[in-house]
Amino acid sequence: MDITVTPNDNAAGAIVTDVDLAVLGDAAWAEVYGAFLTHGLLIFPAQHLDEEAQGAFARRFGDIEKLYPGQDQATLHFGNVKADGKLTQPGDESFKLLRGNEGWHTDSTYMPLAAKASMLMALVVPAEGGGTEFADMRAAYDALDPAMQGRLEGLSAYHSLYHSQARAGFAHATDHMYGFHDKGAPLRPVIKTHPETGRKSIYTGRHAFRIEGMDPAESLALLDRLLSDACQPPRTYLHAWTVGDLAVWDNRCMMHRARPYDTSQPRILRASRISGEPESELAPTFADPKADAFRPTSSNASALTMGTAGSEARSESPRDTDLYG
C-alpha cells in the first residue's frame, strides 16, 4: 500500500501516514525521500520508534553528524532533563542553549559542514507549549520581489553560535563542545540553491551575524528584516508534539524554532542530525572574534576528540552532564 502524504494547509511541510518507519522497505523509502524533497518537512504521527529504529531511519538520509565528543549512536536526547534526572536551571549551559533555540535557525550553519537533515521524536512533552515551528525558505524566497532577489544574489553571511547566543543574552566560553569551537565562522551564501532540487531559498537564520563587505549595522538590519519577513504565514507550520510523533526536515531549505513552555515540566525529544554532503554544505571559515583562537579545519569533529583543544577545554559529554538541544 502506498504511503499517504497530506500537505499542510500552508507552504510548510506535510503529514505522512500509512507507513511504519520501523520496517520501511525500499519502495516506501523512495516515496518518503521524494516527499522529503518536495515538502521540506515531514511529520509522522504515532511512530514510537526505539533508538535502534530511529537510528536506522536517520542513516537512510546520510551520515550521522556527531554532536558531542565520543558520540557513538545515531540518536541523543534534546531537552531540559539532565542525566541525573533533574531539570535544567537558568544558570546551566544547556538552559541557555534551549532558550537560544527559540530563535529561527538552520542546524549546524555555524560548523564548517552544515547539516543536511534533522530528526526529532517526542518522548516526553509538557502539558502546554513546547512545540516546534517550521518555516519554508523556498516559499520565502519566491515571495521576495525581483529587486530584492537580485540584491541578495551573490551576498554571503558569517555564521556563529557565539554571536546568536550573545544576541539572545547568553555568553559562552570556547569549550569545544560542538558549536563553541575555534574552527572559525563559516561564510555561507544568503541565497542557497538546493543541491538536489535546484530551488532557491533564503539561508540565514539567527546564527548569521554579518554580511561580507557590508557595514555591520546595515548588515544586521538587513538580516533581521529578511528573517522576520521570511518566517511568516502562510510559510510556517507549528507542530504540537504528541508522544511518539517523529519529524524530519531538510535543513537546506527549512528553518525551525522551539516554542516556549513551562520549564518546570520535562520536555525530551530524541534527536538525530544528518551531515551535509561536503560538495554543497562545506563552507570556508574565518576568525570569529568571540572564540578564544582560530584553528581552521574542514572537520566538524570536536578538538577534544582530535586532541587539539587547549588545556582549559571541557572534556565531558552531554550524557555526563546535561541533555540538550
Query: Cell numbers 551520515 correspond to what residue?
Result: 63
Distance CA 37, CA 172 (A): 35
- Interval 226-257: pLDDT, tens: 999 999 999 999 999 999 999 999 999 999 99
Strands 76-79 vs 254-258: parallel, antiparallel or unpaired:
unpaired
Structure confidence at residue 306 (pLDDT) = 61
Structure confidence at residue 309 (pLDDT) = 53
- Is the confidence at residue 72, as pLDDT, over 90? no
* Amino acid identity for residue 13 in this structure: G
Give start and end residues of each alpha helix (H) in 91-242: 93-100, 137-143, 146-152, 161-167, 216-230
Distance CA 276, CA 192 (A): 14
- Interval 6-38: pLDDT, tens: 999 876 899 999 999 999 999 999 999 999 999
Q: Which residue in 112, 224, 98, 228 sits closest to 170, CA to CA?
A: 98
Q: What share of the chain is helix, strand, coil (3-state, %, to 5)?
A: 25, 25, 50
For residues 97-124, average pLDDT:
97
Distance CA 263, CA 87 (A): 8
Residue 1's pLDDT band, with cuts at 50, 70 and 90, is low
Domains along the chain? 4-306 (3.60.130.10)
Distance CA 239, CA 237 (A): 6
Structure confidence at residue 227 (pLDDT) = 98
Strand order in the sheet with 185-189: 208-211, 156-159, 185-189, 285-286
H or E stretch at 271: strand 268-275
- Interval 181-228: pLDDT, tens: 999 999 999 999 999 999 999 999 999 999 999 999 999 999 999 999
Mean pLDDT for the chain?
A: 92
Give start and end residues of each alpha helix (H) in 40-92: 51-61
Query: Cell numbers 569533529 correspond to what residue?
Result: 301
Residue 301 phi/psi, 5° resolution? -60, 140
- Interval 266-302: pLDDT, tens: 999 999 999 999 999 999 999 999 999 999 999 998 8
Cβ proximity of 235 and 12 under 8 Å: yes
Strands 14-17 vs 41-44: parallel, antiparallel or unpaired:
parallel
Instruction: Write the DSSP symbol of residue 22.
Output: G
- Is the confidence at residue 119, as pLDDT, over 70? yes
Structure confidence at residue 303 (pLDDT) = 82
Which of the residue ranges 154-163, 227-236, 314-323 would you say has the lowest mean pLDDT?
A: 314-323
Residue 307's pLDDT band, with cuts at 50, 70 and 90, is low
Is the link from the previous residue into 90 a cis peptide, with omega within 30 of 0?
Answer: no
pTM: 0.93
Structure confidence at residue 10 (pLDDT) = 75
Strands 76-79 vs 185-189: parallel, antiparallel or unpaired:
unpaired
Distance CA 183, CA 179 (A): 9
Share of the chain above pLDDT 70, in %: 93
Q: CB neighbours of 179 closer than 8 A, spacing ≥ 6?
A: 110, 111, 161, 162
- Is the confidence at residue 319, as pLDDT, over 60? no
Helix orientation angle between 26-39 and 51-61, rounded to the nearest 10 degrees: 70
Residue 31: all three cell numbers together: 516515496
Residue 157 phi/psi, 5° resolution? -125, 145
Structure confidence at residue 152 (pLDDT) = 98
Structure confidence at residue 273 (pLDDT) = 98
- B/e letters for 165-188, b = 16+ CB within 10 Å, e = fewer, are beeeebebebbbbbbbbbbbbbbb
* Amino acid identity for residue 103 in this structure: G
For residues 79-106, average pLDDT:
94
232 CB-contact burial (10 Å; exposed 0-12 / middle 13-18 / buried 19+)? exposed
